[in-house]
Structure formats: structure tokens, C-alpha cells
Structure 1
Amino acid sequence: MMRRAVIATSATIAGVSLLLALKPHHSGLAAASGTTGGRTGSGESATAPPSSSESESSGSPGSSGSSGSTKKAAKPSTSGTFTGDAVDTRYGPVQVQVTLKSGKIKAVKVLQVPNENGRDRELASMAVPRLTREALAAGNAQIDTVSGATYTSEGYINSLQSALDKAHA
């Protein structure tokens, strides 16, 4: 009898732990500030600080393009602001905008990151500045993902690569 109680209690604890470990994602809930790309509830310009307040002087808005499979640098003479594709991740879209001067990355501005709940905002506020620093230092999209924010990192890298691909086209 005692053995059954221990097994039942252990199974219950394991089941509850697994349920608590799941992270539900509900798209389209409460809108945050500034949304781009026609999606609601996905904007993230307030919680993920952009690295620059560059103006949008040229370039094309993100609509379609490469998924980031190529790793080409921009032409040396390329200058302007280019918006990467909004990349859907498990927790929401990620989109960046890159400013180039003479083919070199001068600024990366985050337009969208997952911000559904406090944990999303916490991860974005930790990962985005690190990813931006790495992108500026590397001068391309070949940067490492941030541990603990893998989906956001991969979305950031793919959106950055699509912006660089648009600059190269």
C-alpha cells in the first residue's frame, strides 16, 4: 500500500512538473508599442533597445527575400537602411533593420522581438544587445546564438542576413 502511494505521488509530481515546463504561446494578444510588418501584438521597440536612432533614409521595407542561407557581405559601395524579413520563431516574430555606410554595418535596429509575456521581454532585453554588439563587431550575420534565447537569436540572425542580402542585391 505504501509503495503504491509513493509511485502515485511521484507520477503526479512528474506530470505537474512537465505541465509547468510548457510555455504556451498565444498570438495576437495585447499589442505592444510600434508594430511593423502588418502584425499586431508583435512590435518590440520599447523593451529591446535599438543600438542607434538612425533615420530610415533608403532601402526597402521587409516584404520578401532570402531566408538567410547565403552569407554574403554587402557591396563596398552600399549605403542606406535595409529592413530584414520578419522571421517567425516559436515565440513570435523577430525583425531587424540594418544601416550600412560604404558596405559596413553602422547600426542595427530591432523592429520586432517576442514580447508576449515577461519572460519573452526578459530574454529579448538580455539577448538583443549582445546580438547587436556581435553583429557590429563581426560586420555580418555570422554571429553566435545567445544561450537561453536560441529562437530569438536565430530569428535575429536570419532577419539580419535577409537585410544584408537586400543590400547586396
Structure 2
Amino acid sequence: MRKQFLEAGRVVGTHGVKGELRVEPWCDSAAFLAKIHTLYWDRGSEELQVVSSRVHKSLLLLKLEGVDTVEEADALRGRILYLNRADVKLPKDRYFVQDMLGLTVLDADTGRRYGLLTEVMPTGANDVYQVTGDDKVNYLVPAIPDVIVDVDIDGGIMKIRPMRGIFDDAD
């Protein structure tokens, strides 16, 4: 089941003396998170209005309504920020990582079950998916169009056409 509120990042510190927060983004980038105007604490239980945000190196500098001093900001260190999936429009064939984790990975041609998608690792050129088999062995699958055939988040299935040598011994 899709979660309405998704983890977006963690407050890792303060910036300046006027209550600005340093946030480590847990999404594609700080620039992606900077586009969000409403964030939440505690899986959506408390709405937060973003006054301003900007990218600083790999972090997001964030000013929230009602947080006006460095002391108030420092008290938020370690807190997790959430975003509402309704506030984000993803391009076609793009998915929230949190929705992908736990998908059953099947062979697109034979239906063979390879295991569950347990991790998504960004590598720069393309992501790499970690698939954990029933035998608890981890396999690395490149997230490229030649390999990933279909992703059905609602059905809980990812169909792949694996490259030779990923799940079997190549000659």
C-alpha cells in the first residue's frame, strides 16, 4: 500500500541565527526538495509552511514558519521531514523509492521469481537495484531500459529481463 506521507529528509543542523535549518535530503536532490512548499512532521500529523528554501552544496537550507531563532532551530536537529505525495507530480516511469522497496522481482519472459527489491542505489549514470533472493543472497540489477521491462507499484511486481550472469553463472 502506498504511504500518503513519505520521508523527505532529516534536519542535521542550523544555519545562521534566524532559525534556518540544514536538511539532508532523502530524495533525488536538494533542488527537488526546494520545490516543496509544505512539509510535515510525524508522518503528516503536523503541517509545516516553508517560508524559504535554497540549495547549499548537497544540503537544503530551509526556513519554516514559526522557527525564528537558532535555539528553536537547534531543538529540531534529528527530526525527520515528510512530504505529501499529492504535492509532487512525478514524470512518467519515475517512482518514489519507498514505493519500490518490497516489490517482487519476476522474469518478464518465464515468470521466475528472483526475490524482493530491497535497496535502490544511485550510481550516477543509472540506479542499481538490489534484489534479495529467497536464499538471502543479494543480486545487483542495473536499472536500465534493456533490463527493467515493467514496474507495477499497485500490483507489487517488477518484471525484468536480466543480463546474463546476474542470477546465473556466465560461461
TM-score range (shorter-chain normalised) is under 0.3
Higher relative contact order (CA 8 A, sep 6+): 1
Q: How high is the TM-score relative to the length of structure 2?
A: 0.24
Q: How high is the TM-score relative to the length of structure 1?
A: 0.24
- Structure number with the higher strand fraction is 2
- Structure number with the higher helix fraction is 1
